[in-house]
């Protein structure tokens, strides 16, 4: 039986996720263009989705996020516009 | 005749499947955007079926030029009315990603009264990791045939073709239209549910890839491994190709010793010796290097590493007005600028795509390779340092390649800062494809095809140019004095242009001829030196360059000139087609010619001061 408890954390953006952290997407910032919002949703970055940060290089390089069974790289410019709620194991 | 439209999201293995079904050799690679434009071919086993391969798209809502082109072509094909069915290729190891698009297609199929078939690819990967996928359950839930297959091993292809051959007999109404969603979120929810119910369980594959990503994308090991991989790429061009180049050169010499004594006529003898063996032969010697370069770039494409390289390069490229997605078109440009320009369609931002167009012609393409190889082998000793690990010629090649890349970045940095219109700056979102062991057979075939294409495309141009050069250089005094020939007279007229960088009229003529295509330089020079020293037909072209009195500083100036000048008519024509105007190609040609000349002049004086 899985004994891990998911606890709600503070509101933040996807970009603030560090390597090994996971979060739940809560929505998108209104500044994001609708077509990118649609594309991110289709890729799995949609409200309620669990996201796991697999790689977070230094110096502001794009981070890698795992969503379902795929991994995508997102730069700060767009990851900052994805609102998240952190999860703690 | 009926059509089957082969569509799917990027990295689903669609092009490999197309090649297997048609027996054609469409380029395949493990990164998004390798298929540009549609390609068609007939099924090998059912010739009445025409298969059309579309560029990979994530959804019916296009956000890049490449996706718009694919979706427009899809609409046109559906409206034309000859379509028997749409085959949506999905990666069975990452089912939910492909199913989002498949569900959208299902809606489209209902609208057009067509049948949808799901081709669930990558069964070989599932078998390897002992994972399972319920094709029957998915087919029942979606109300459409789902064919498990492996484009790599050929598993399931016969079944798929059989389904294609009977697809016209089934009405489209079999589709379970209840499953169709209404927006992106509904499609995604449905796809995730289907993947959970019928897709492979577990995340073994992702864990394996994450471990590799942790190494290749780490701040320290990622940068070092990137530089090492790029260095290895350029070093291999010399070290791996050298034995084959020697063999080609020896074969040509052997052939000339066999053929030339049979020719009685002195003019025909001189023509075969100077223009054919001296001109065309000198060009053929460098083809093995093009083979190795294409093989190495193909290996990187196939491995899945290129998307990681795009991530590593994103931040540094931003400083020059580009994006990480510019890296893949730029690296493609290392083999040939034309596929690089097509690959730039994947860049969503028009502004960054335009800047990438500016950089691509400055990438050290394979047509420059014979020129670089000739000059480097003439001036740089074939010695190794650091215990034999670093060859000086390979190092010089790496340096001249870096110069071209640096020139490209300098241009984009300057131009991006002067552009008023910042435009819609599309964000960087890139899928990381799984790492794969490269498939050597298709890679070798691809490198062979590329080399063959290079020879057949450049060969006739070089032949005709060498013919003209030989004719003008041989007459009116039958090769007795090249300087007094018709070509010599023309060459002396343009000599003042190249005199400031220490080049005599023969190099001037070769440069002018190479504005048609860079590789013509080697053939022209081979012909000219052939006429001048016909009795020395056993001497290689690099030795003739050394003996011609070309100074080291002029040699460097020539290298710099060729690194920058936009000497390729085909590239300029493709650029005009992609941008819809000749304005950019003409500006680029004039600008890069002046930039090349000024840089060569600078290099000539700088090297002169250092020596």
Contacts of B366 (CB under 8 A, 6+ apart): B289, B290, B293, B294, B334, B335, B336, B454
In chain B, residues with a C-beta closer than 8 Å to the C-beta of A54 are: 210, 213-214
Average per-residue pLDDT for chain B: 84
Planar angle of CA B102, B104, B109, nearest 5 degrees = 85
Min Cα distance B100 → chain A (Å) is 7
Cα B108 to Cα B95: distance, rounded to the nearest angstrom: 20
Q: Is residue B606 part of a domain?
A: yes
Residue B575 CA: distances (Å) to CA of B184, B353, B454, B509, B571: 35, 12, 19, 27, 6
Q: Which are the contacts of B162, defined by CB distance < 8 A and separation ≥ 6?
A: none
Residue B234 has pLDDT above 90, yes or no: no
Q: Domain count of chain B?
A: 2
> Which chain B residue is nearest to residue A46, measuring alpha carbons?
B185
Quote the ipTM score.
0.88
pLDDT for residue B439 is more than 80: no
Q: Write down which residue in B181, B202, B223 finishes a domain.
A: B202
CB contact under 8 A, B432 and A46: no
CB contact under 8 A, B219 and A57: yes
Domain assignment of residue B19, yes or no: yes
When computed from its CA atoms, the radius of gyration of chain A, rounded to whole angstroms, is 13
* Cβ of residue B209 closer than 8 Å to a chain A Cβ: yes
Confidence of residue B502 (pLDDT cuts 50, 70, 90): very high
Closest partner residue to A70 among B97, B219, B426, by Cβ?
B97
Average pLDDT over residues B541-570: 87
Distance CA B115, CA B187 (A): 19
B93 touches chain A (CB under 8 A): yes
How far apart are the C-alpha atoms of B97 and B90, rounded to whole Å? 8
Q: Do B210 and A55 lie within an 8 Å CB cutoff?
A: yes
B94: contact with A, CB 8 A cutoff:
yes
Kindly list the residues from chain A whose CB atom is less than 8 angstroms away from the CB atom of residue B187.
42
Q: Find the domain containing B6 and state its range.
A: 2-202
In 10 A of CB A7, how many CB atoms?
9
| Closest residue, chain A, to B424 (C-alpha) | A33
CATH code, domain with B76: 3.40.50.300
pLDDT number for residue A24:
95
Q: Which of B182, B202, B222 is the last residue of a domain?
A: B202
Using CA of residue B165, residue B439, residue B447, residue B364, what is the dihedral sign? positive
pLDDT at B194: 94
| B347 touching chain A per CB within 8 A | no
B107 part of contact set with chain A, CB < 8 Å: no
Is residue B409 assigned to a domain? no
Q: How far apart are CA B611 and CA B607, in angstroms?
A: 6
Question: Do residues B146 and B88 lie in contact, with contact meaning Cβ atoms separated by under 8 Å?
Answer: no
Output the pLDDT for position B284: 81
- Set of chain A residues whose Cβ sits within 8 Å of the Cβ of B210: 54-55, 66, 71
- The per-residue pLDDT for B33 is 52
Put simply, the answer to whether A43 touches B429 (Cβ < 8 Å) is yes
Asked if A71 lies within 8 A of B97 by C-beta distance, the reply is: no
Reply yes or no on whether the pLDDT at B590 is more than 80. Answer: yes
In this structure, how many other beta carbons lie within 10 angstroms of the beta carbon of residue B36? 20
Domains identified in chain A and CATH numbers: 7-88 (2.30.30.90)
Q: Which residues pair with A8 in a beta bridge?
A: A87
Residue at B152 is within a domain: yes
**What whole-number distance in Å separates Cα of residue B371 and Cα of residue B542?**
10
Asked if omega into B476 is within 30° of 0 (cis), the reply is yes
Residues 6+ apart with CB under 8 A from B374: B282, B286, B522, B525, B541, B542, B545
Element (H, E) at B304: none
Predicted confidence band of residue B182 (pLDDT cuts 50, 70, 90): low
Domain presence at residue B23: yes
**Which residues of A touch chain B, with CB atoms under 8 Å apart?**
33, 35-36, 38-44, 46-47, 54-55, 57-62, 64, 66, 68-75, 77-78
**Of A2-16, B48-62, B447-461, the least confident:** A2-16
**B222 falls within a domain:** no
Report CA-CA distances (Å) from B155 to B147, B186, B194: 10, 33, 23
Nearest to B188 among A35, A41, A60 (CB): A41
| Residues found in chain B | 611
How close, in Å, is residue A7 to chain B by CA atoms? 23
pLDDT value at B485 more than 80: yes
What's the pLDDT score for residue B277?
84
Round to whole Å and give the CA distance between B230 and B228. Answer: 5
Q: Which residue of B has its CA nearest to A47?
A: B185
pLDDT at B73 over 90: no
Give chain A's residues under pLDDT 50: 1-7, 89
For residues B176 and B228, is the Cβ–Cβ distance under 8 A?
no
Give the domain-ending residue among B202, B232, B261.
B202
What is the band of B391 on the pLDDT scale with cuts at 50, 70, 90? Answer: confident
Rounded Cα–Cα distance for residues B359 and B335 (Å): 14
For residue B171, what pLDDT band results from cuts at 50, 70 and 90?
Answer: very low
Which chain A residue's Cα is nearest to B32? A72
Q: How many CB pairs under 8 A join A and B?
A: 130
Domain-embedded: residue B596: yes
Regarding predicted confidence, which is higher, B460 or A71? A71
Residue B387 lies in a domain: no
In angstroms, the CA A59 to CA B316 distance is 10
Q: Are strands A82-88 and A22-28 parallel, antiparallel or unpaired?
A: antiparallel
The token duo for B143 is: 């109300």
Q: Which pLDDT does position A21 carry in this prediction?
A: 92
Which residues in A lie closer than 8 A to residue B185 (C-beta atoms)? 41, 46-47
Cα-Cα-Cα-Cα dihedral of B465, B468, B469, B472, to 10°? -170
Residue A64 distance to chain B (closest CA, Å): 8
């Amino acid at each position: 039986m899985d004994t891990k408890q998911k606890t709600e954390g503070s509101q933040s953006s996807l970009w603030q996720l560090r390597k090994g952290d996971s979060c739940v997407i809560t929505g998108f910032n209104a500044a994001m263009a609708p077509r990118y919002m649609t594309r991110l949703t289709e890729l799995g970055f949609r409200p309620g989705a669990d996201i796991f940060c697999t790689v977070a290089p230094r110096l502001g390089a794009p981070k890698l996020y795992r969503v379902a069974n795929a991994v995508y790289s997102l730069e700060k410019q767009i990851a900052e516009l994805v609102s998240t709620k952190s999860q703690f194991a | 005749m009926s059509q089957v439209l082969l569509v799917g999201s990027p990295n689903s293995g669609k092009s490999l499947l197309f090649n297997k079904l048609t027996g054609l050799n469409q380029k395949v690679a493990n990164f998004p955007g390798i298929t540009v434009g549609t390609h068609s071919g007939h099924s090998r086993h059912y010739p009445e079926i025409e298969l059309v391969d579309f560029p990979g798209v994530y959804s019916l809502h296009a956000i890049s030029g490449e996706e718009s082109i694919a979706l427009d072509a899809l609409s046109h094909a559906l409206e034309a009315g000859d379509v028997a069915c749409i085959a949506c290729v999905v990666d069975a190891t990452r089912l939910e990603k492909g199913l989002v698009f498949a569900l959208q297609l299902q809606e489209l199929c209902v609208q057009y009264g067509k049948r949808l078939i799901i081709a669930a690819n990558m069964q070989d990967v599932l078998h390897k990791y002992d994972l399972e996928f319920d094709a029957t359950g998915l087919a029942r839930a979606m109300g459409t045939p789902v064919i498990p297959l492996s484009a790599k091993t050929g598993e399931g292809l016969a079944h798929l073709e059989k389904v294609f051959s009977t697809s016209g007999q089934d009405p489209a109404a079999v589709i379970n239209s209840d499953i169709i969603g209404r927006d992106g979120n509904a499609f995604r929810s449905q796809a995730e549910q289907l993947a959970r119910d019928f897709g492979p369980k577990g995340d073994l594959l992702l864990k394996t890839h994450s471990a590799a990503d942790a190494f290749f994308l780490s701040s320290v090991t990622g940068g070092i491994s990137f530089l090492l991989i790029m260095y290895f790429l350029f070093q291999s061009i010399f070290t791996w190709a050298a034995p084959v180049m020697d063999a080609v050169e020896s074969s040509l010499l052997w052939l000339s010793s066999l053929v030339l004594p049979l020719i009685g006529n002195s003019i025909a003898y001189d023509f075969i010796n100077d223009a054919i063996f001296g001109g065309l032969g000198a060009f053929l010697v460098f083809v093995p290097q093009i083979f190795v370069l294409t093989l190495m770039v193909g290996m990187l494409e196939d491995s899945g590493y290129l998307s990681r390289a795009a991530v590593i390069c994103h931040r540094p490229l931003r400083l020059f007005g580009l994006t990480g997605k510019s890296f893949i078109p730029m690296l493609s440009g290392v083999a040939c600028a034309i596929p690089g320009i097509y690959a730039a369609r994947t860049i969503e931002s028009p502004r960054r795509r335009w800047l990438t167009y500016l950089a691509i012609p400055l990438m050290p393409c394979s047509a420059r390779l014979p020129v670089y190889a000739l000059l480097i082998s003439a001036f740089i000793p074939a010695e190794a340092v650091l215990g034999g690990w670093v060859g000086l010629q390979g190092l010089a090649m790496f340096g001249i390649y870096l110069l071209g890349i640096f020139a490209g970045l300098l241009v984009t940095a300057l131009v991006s800062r002067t552009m008023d219109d910042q435009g819609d700056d599309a964000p960087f979102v890139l899928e990381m494809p799984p790492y794969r062991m490269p498939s050597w057979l298709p890679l070798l075939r691809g490198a062979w095809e590329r080399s063959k294409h290079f020879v057949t495309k450049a060969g006739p141009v070089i032949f005709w140019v060498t013919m003209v050069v030989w004719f003008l250089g041989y007459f009116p005094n039958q090769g007795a004095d090249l300087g007094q020939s018709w070509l010599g007279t023309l060459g002396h007229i343009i000599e003042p242009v190249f005199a400031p960088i220490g080049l005599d009229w023969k190099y001037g003529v070769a440069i002018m001829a190479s504005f048609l295509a860079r590789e013509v330089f080697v053939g022209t020079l081979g012909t000219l030196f052939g006429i001048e020293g016909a009795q020395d037909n056993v001497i290689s072209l690099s030795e003739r360059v050394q003996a011609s009195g070309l100074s080291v500083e002029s040699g460097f100036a020539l290298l710099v000139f060729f690194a920058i000048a936009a000497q390729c008519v085909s590239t300029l024509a493709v650029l005009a087609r992609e941008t819809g105007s000749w304005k950019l190609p003409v500006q680029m040609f004039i600008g890069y010619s002046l930039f090349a000349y000024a840089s060569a002049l600078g290099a000539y004086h700088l090297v002169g001061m250092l020596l």
